[in-house]
Amino acid sequence: MTCRLQSSPTFISDFKQECSALCAVNGDAALTASEYDMAIDLYSGAIDLDYTSDVIFANRSKANLGKMLWEDALLDAQKVRWHLCFHTHVHFSDT
């Protein structure tokens, strides 16, 4: 008997989504426990798996702030703004 992994696009997409969601949930737990390095790694993993949202970037920004990584935190905050503008058609004024 041989074991074959499914390689259909739907299976791969579902698998990536499930892994991303686990990264996000565990990132939330790490952020709550002030384990900033772990939170950053987990949120980055979720992003690498194409699971991006304003919440993921906002939480990674918070973790970067906890590590005093100001520039990284700012970049993620800007991505939050982009996601909100792009996905909800909210427009921000720079003034």
Q: Which domains does the chain have, with CATH numbers?
A: 11-88 (1.25.40.10)
Q: d(Cα 81, Cα 79) in Å, to the nearest integer?
A: 5
Is pLDDT larger for residue 90 or for residue 56? 56
Amino acid, single-letter form, for residue 13: S
Mean pLDDT of the residues in the chain: 85
* pLDDT tens, residue by residue, 22-59: 999 999 999 999 999 999 999 999 999 877 788 999 99
pTM here is 0.77
Task: Give, for 52, the enclosing helix (H) or strand (E).
Answer: none
Alpha-carbon distance of 48 to 9, in angstroms, equals 17
CA distance 95 to 86: 19
* Residue 38 neighbours by CB under 8 Å, 6+ apart: 26, 27, 30
> How far apart are alpha carbons 53 and 63 in whole angstroms?
16
